[in-house]
Amino acid sequence: MVNAIRQFLLNNGFSKNLASALANMTTVSMVVLLCIASWILARIILTRIIGVYVKRSRSKWDDIILERRFFSRAAHLAPAVVLYFSASAFPAVQAWIQKLAQTYIIIVTTLIIFSLLDGFDEIYSTFEISKEKPIKGIIQVLKIIISIIAAIITISLLVDKSPWVLLSGIGVFSAVLMLVFQNSILGFVAGIQLSSNDMVRVGDWIEMPRYDADGEIIEITLHTVKVQNWDKSITMIPSHALISESFKNWRGMRESGGRRIKETIYIDVNSIKTCTDEMLQRLEKLHYLSGYINSRRGNNEPITNIGAFRAYVEEYMQNLPGLNKGMTMMVRQHAPAEHGLPIEIYCFSAGTRLADYEAVKTQIFDHIMAIIHQFDLRIYQRLSGLDLAATAAAYNPPGRKQSD
């Protein structure tokens, strides 16, 4: 082509040097315009014409492939092919132009494969099994392997050496490769262990104090596990850290259908006593205590106000709709301490949502605080300034003369 244009210019009176320069410039311009035109045409066909049919189809997988830029990247193959076959127009640099075109084809092909892998990952994530067996880490490993293969092929083209010759020399650089891809190797091994042992899934609530992580896993990748904390901040945890370090996974709580309530109130030991007949008559009027009192009377056992209180709270929890009746439910009494007698409420909510959990827990303790005076019991609390003032006023009522 260059020679034909040069000869045409020479026949029309142009000098030899000018004809050669114009012939080269014209040929380069034509090749560039042809590459641009082929890219535009391929883009129109792939992204607009085929893209319209893709959007109209009922299946979602082709829409995902379109969104992952598969077709727009494939359009870049057209100018590369045009450039490769146009290289013969420049005999002096034909080999280098063809190498450039081949390199571009390798890069574009690699990106196209990446689009397919990303699309497959997104399609896979629509299935429920993706939360138990995420493949994002495997996809990232495949991308690294494909990138290495593409780099080896590209280098072999540029230096005119067989890829096997380059591969045979990789052993020399194995230590360097191990250092460069250390995190990738650790992450890949950790990902396999996490997946095979079902240690974490997307959606799991985990706690890992070392990394200030307390929230749900939203993504598991080759190198990191992304956790969205309850304050909506994001914590990135190295994948291998979940293998080598301790963390708490709350999945078991969610799957059990109940969330544990374990709270303690402290009773003033000075308020504990045996119930009098008058007190028992009053307590029998409470909804949940008549059976307990009658059974104790039948056995001629003394009834204490703290025992009656424990029985009342247990019966109250058995009849509370917001608690899980199929799980452990009890009122425990621990050894007396400096803060009084610890009474522990131990039960499980009927749901695992935080709002429902807090609501039923609040309901239990609101009721306990309101009913405890019926048992002549007092909740222990530290003395405040108001308590000291009341005590002083009791010992020094108004009008009383102070002794000298």
Helices (H), 319-402: 354-371, 385-395
Do 103 and 86 share a domain, yes or no? yes
Between 229 and 80, name the one with better pLDDT.
229
d(CA 372, CA 376): 7
Do 104 and 19 share a domain, yes or no? yes
CB 379 within 8 A of CB 369: yes
Residue 234: inside a domain: yes
CB 47 within 8 A of CB 71: yes
Do 230 and 204 share a domain, yes or no? yes
H/E run at residue 45: none
Do 225 and 298 share a domain, yes or no? no
Find the domain containing 328 and state its range.
257-386
Q: Phi, psi (5° rounding) for residue 267?
A: -95, 135
pLDDT at 287 exceeding the cut of 70: yes
| CATH at 382 | 3.30.70.100
**In what side-by-side order are the strands of the sheet with 248-249?**
234-238, 224-229, 213-220, 205-208, 248-249
Q: Crossing angle, helix 94-125 and helix 136-159, to 10 degrees?
A: 170
pLDDT at 50 exceeding the cut of 80: no
Do 233 and 262 share a domain, yes or no? no
pLDDT at 18 exceeding the cut of 70: no
At 133-182, the pLDDT tens digits run: 777 777 877 888 888 888 888 888 887 777 776 666 666 566 666 666 67
Do 100 and 68 share a domain, yes or no? yes
Do 200 and 288 share a domain, yes or no? no
Residue 180: inside a domain: no
pLDDT recorded at residue 404 = 45
At 326-380, the pLDDT tens digits run: 899 999 999 998 888 999 999 999 988 889 999 999 999 999 999 999 999 999 8
pTM of the model: 0.57
Q: What is the Cβ-side half-sphere exposure of residue 67, based on CA atoms within 13 angstroms?
A: 12
Do 118 and 213 share a domain, yes or no? no
pLDDT at 42 exceeding the cut of 60: yes
Q: What is the Cβ-side half-sphere exposure of residue 201, based on CA atoms within 13 angstroms?
A: 16
Residue 17: inside a domain: yes
Q: Give the end-to-end CA distance of the chain in Å, rounded to a whole number.
A: 127
Provide the 8-state DSSP code for 93: G
CB 215 within 8 A of CB 228: yes
d(CA 174, CA 178): 6
Do 360 and 265 share a domain, yes or no? yes
Q: Give the total number of structural domains in the chain.
A: 3
Among 250, 280, 312, the domain boundary falls at: 250
Among 104, 126, 148, the domain boundary falls at: 126
Considering only CA atoms, which of 186, 189, 248 is closest in space to residue 213? 248
User: What confidence category does residue 197 fall into, taking pLDDT thresholds of 50, 70 and 90?
Assistant: confident
Among 126, 148, 174, the domain boundary falls at: 126
Mean pLDDT of the chain: 81
Considering only CA atoms, which of 201, 196, 286, 193 is closest in space to residue 243? 193
Residue 342: inside a domain: yes
| CATH at 229 | 2.30.30.60
Provide the 8-state DSSP code for 47: I
Do 226 and 300 share a domain, yes or no? no
Residue 143: inside a domain: no
H/E run at residue 110: helix 94-125
pLDDT recorded at residue 368 = 93
